[in-house]
Amino acid sequence: MLFEDTIAAISTPIGVGGIGIIRVSGKEAISIVDKIFKAANKKSLKDIGSHTITYGHIVSQSGKVLDEVLIMLMKGPKTFTREDVIEINCHGGPIPLNAVLMEVINAGARLADSGEFTKRAFLNGRIDLAQVEAIMDIIEAKTELSLSQAVGQLEGNLSKKIREYQDTLIQIIARIEVSIDYPEYDDDEPITNDFEAELRALSAELNELLKTADTGKMIRDGVKTAIVGRPNVGKSSLLNALLEENKAIVTDIPGTTRDVVEAYLNIDGIPFQLLDTAGIRETEDVVEQIGVERSKSSIEEADLVLMLVDAHAGLLDKDKEILAQVKGKHVIYVFNKNDLGSNITPEITQEHFNDGKIINISAKEQDGLKDLRNAMKEIVIKGNATVSNQATISNQRQKQALMNAIKSLDKVIEAIEMGLPEDCLAIDLHDAFGHLGMIVGESLKEEIINQLFSRFCLGK
Contact positions toward ligand GTP, by CB under 6 A? 229, 231-237, 250-252, 254-257, 278-279, 336-337, 339-340, 362-364
- Closest CB to ligand GTP: residue number: 279
In the complex, what is the shortest distance from the CB of residue 267 to ligand GTP, in angstroms, rounded to a whole number? 20
**Span near Mg ion by CB under 5 A; candidates 88-96, 205-213, 257-265, 431-439:** 257-265
- Smaller CB separation from ligand GTP, 151 or 358: 358
Closer to ligand GTP by Cβ: residue 104 or 233: 233
Q: Is 74 left (phi over 0), alpha (psi -120 to 50) or beta?
A: beta
Residue 336 binds to Mg ion (criterion: CB under 5 A): no
Binding residue (CB under 5 A) for Mg ion from 236, 273, 394, 398: 236
For Mg ion, which residue of 11, 166, 257, 388 counts as binding (CB under 5 A)? 257
Shortest Å, Cβ 337 to ligand GTP? 4
* Minimum gap (Å) between residue 228 Cβ and Mg ion: 11
Least distance (Å) between residue 399 CB and Mg ion: 35
> For residues 16 and 249, which CB has a smaller minimum distance to Mg ion in the complex?
249
Smallest separation, CB 281 to ligand GTP (Å): 8
Instruction: Give the nearer residue to Mg ion in terms of CB position, either 256 or 366.
Output: 256
Q: Which does 364 bind (CB under 5 to 8 A by kind): Mg ion, ligand GTP, none?
A: ligand GTP
The option from ligand GTP, Mg ion, none interacting with 339 (CB < 5 to 8 A, set by class) reads: ligand GTP
**Dist. CA 133–CA 138, nearest whole Å:** 9
Using CB distances below 5 to 8 A depending on partner kind, what does residue 157 bind out of ligand GTP, Mg ion, none?
none
Enumerate binding residues for Mg ion (CB under 5 A).
235-236, 256-257
